[in-house]
Amino acid sequence: MIIKKRSREGGEFSTASMADITFLLLLFFLVSTNIDVDTGIGLTLPEITDITNVAPLSKERLAAILINESGDVLLNKEIISIPQIRENLRARIRSKIDLPKNKKLVVSIKTDRNTNYNLYIQALDAIKGAYFDVRDEYALNHWGIKTHNPEKLTKQQFNELKEKIPIIISIAEPEKIK
Amino acid sequence: MKFEKKRAATKQGIPTASMPDIIFMLLLFFMVATTLREQEVYVKFSLPEAQAIEKIENKRLISYIYVGKSGRIQIDDNIVPLKNVQEIMYRKRVALPNVIVSLRIDKNAKMGLITDIQQALRKADTRRINYSATLKQ
């Protein structure tokens, strides 16, 4: 008896569907990716210290912002609205650019326990905005670039900005009343 | 006179052999860019809006604290009481010394709670924080 040998075709498998499979994987990762970056207002909290050895700041350096629970804002004991903070602080920061390090402006924020968080963020935003405005101006006047973005400046320029216009925001110690 | 059309000797059609390679390349990009560490959030919150916001450049350093409308605090996958915040954050700080704490807080929260959390963070020495906010249009 003769057994017929079947002729085989070349031992390859088709790669035509490979593209489809990879497309499927690609789609999965496309859908599950979220490239959104986290944005927010950055801050460094102060170290825990004893309240007793804190030296009081001179009136000239301090901009104290108080927000009470009904949303009224005081800046150095005068009533002000949140959008006005930016304008007001800008002038004060600008006047202190050329002063030495220990004479720069310190902005302090203090809130009541019942103050709305959103108000606090709006005030903080206004303060940061004022600082960024002055940094922008400084950069424009000195290097012709209108930005405070560290990515667009050289390291040296950014350090100069940080030295001339340091952002000092102090969060007041909460009071232990009530 | 009869014209004969000239035909190219080569086959027509785009070779698709390299298509998988191209798609693999795209696939690899997305695989690398994806962070699958998505957390389930148990508290309900809507972030405040602000203008002077910055990007957090290094996503791997971030550790989140969520505070919801109801004032509940979530760290990682658990709802935690306020008194445990300090200990948990201290442990995080030991594991990752330059951790950035991103505070995702509902805009109607009360400052009293936020102050308490901040005091806990200060005691845990995790002092780099970021108030999460979306860009105001």
A47 falls within a domain: no
Q: In what order do the strands lie in the sheet with A62-67?
A: A78-80, A73-75, A62-67, A106-111, A169-171
Is residue A52 included in any domain, yes or no? no
C-alpha angle A151-A34-B134 in degrees, rounded to nearest 5: 60
- The verdict on a CB contact (< 8 Å) between B50 and A114 is no
CB–CB contact B110 A115 (8 Å) = yes
Say which amino acid occupies A151.
Answer: E
d(CA A69, CA A72): 7
| pLDDT for position A177 | 38
- End-to-end Cα spacing for chain B: 73
pLDDT of A178 higher than 60: no
Least confident window among A139-148, A169-178, B40-49: A169-178
Residue B64: closest CA among chain A residues belongs to which residue?
A: A38
ipTM of the complex model: 0.72
The distance of B2 to chain A (nearest Cα, Å) reads 42
Q: What domains does chain B contain, in order, with CATH numbers?
A: 49-135 (3.30.420.270)
The range of the structural domain enclosing residue A98 comes to 58-171
Contact A42 B50 (CB under 8 A): no
Q: How many domains does chain A have?
A: 1
Q: Which residue has the tokens 């014209």?
A: B3
Instruction: Please give the average per-residue pLDDT across A50-77, as a whole number.
Output: 76
Contact at CB, B50 and A32, closer than 8 angstroms = no
More confident residue, A90 or B60: A90
**What are the tens digits of pLDDT across the range B62-94?**
888 888 888 888 888 888 888 888 888 889 889
A117-143 vs A82-94: helix crossing angle, rounded to 10: 30
pLDDT value of position B8: 67
A9 in any annotated domain: no
Contact residues on chain B for A46, CB-CB shorter than 8 A: 122, 127
| A32 within some domain | no
Residue A73 in any domain: the answer is: yes
Which ranges constitute the DSSP H helices of A33-143? 82-94, 117-143
Angle between helices B111-124 and B82-95 (to 10 degrees): 40
Residue type, A31: V
From first CA to last CA, the distance across chain A in angstroms is 107
Percent of chain B having pLDDT more than 90? 1
| In-domain check, residue A127 | yes
**What is the pLDDT averaged over residues A118-131?**
88
Which residue from A minimizes the CA distance to B16?
A16
Least CB-CB distance to B111: which of A19, A30, A115? A115
What is the three-class DSSP state of B35?
A: coil
Residues 6+ apart with CB under 8 A from B31: A29
pTM more than 0.90: no
Whether residue A14 is contained in a domain is answered as no
Which DSSP letter does residue B59 get? G
Domain contains A65: yes
